Amino acid sequence: MTVALPSGKARRTATVIGAVSAGLLVLSACDKPTPLATVTVGTNSVHTEASCYNDGSPIKESLLQGCLNKKAEKTVKVSMDDKVRFGVDPEIADKGWTLFINGQQAEQEPFKKTYRTIPGSAFFAQQQQQQPGAPSPDEAQVSVVETKGKKLTGIWHFKLEKTS
């Protein structure tokens, strides 16, 4: 009884394919996605990964201001009467999170639940005294900020545009 063995060329090809597959598997493990934050207004919902995230460790002080000032890539339209719903992954809620509006901390204590609702008017009413360099009174950058004690460990940005 004889057994057919693959030729040398077939073995080399199989070895190369196996090595490439293993390499891709290792590389995919390096780019672990960050937890998500979501904003929902009515039926419009957007989510994003963190613009700055240090996998649960504090973001370096030297990078913090640049992270807070990054422009949001996701935009949601909001009227003053809308309810703005924020949702975060459980691992963000476990550590605690707070909101920053236009780079300024809006709350003193971190929130520890995965979901909360805030009236749309809260994001635009604060901007009545227009300061130089501040965004238009018809928009607000809202940042979901994960905290660990007094340190910031993750930042997610959303732009809210005021509609009539």
96-155 pLDDT, tens digit each: 999 999 988 998 899 999 999 999 999 986 554 555 555 567 899 999 999 988 899 999
pLDDT of residue 27: 43
Q: Could you count the other beta carbons within 10 Å of the beta carbon of residue 138?
A: 12
Q: What is the pTM of this model?
A: 0.76
State the Cα–Cα distance between residues 56 and 109, nearest whole angstrom.
18
State the Cα–Cα distance between residues 85 and 119, nearest whole angstrom.
9
Higher pLDDT, 5 or 32: 32
Measuring CA to CA, which residue among 131, 114, 143, 124 is closest to residue 53?
A: 143
Higher pLDDT, 45 or 26: 45
38-66 pLDDT, tens digit each: 999 999 999 999 999 988 899 999 999 99
Q: Which pair of tokens denotes residue 57?
A: 């460790």
Helix and strand numbers, DSSP H then E, in the chain: 4, 10
Three-state DSSP class for 9? helix
State the Cα–Cα distance between residues 69 and 59, nearest whole angstrom.
14
State the Cα–Cα distance between residues 98 and 155, nearest whole angstrom.
10
58-87 pLDDT, tens digit each: 999 999 999 999 999 999 999 999 999 999
Residue 20, pLDDT > 80, answer no
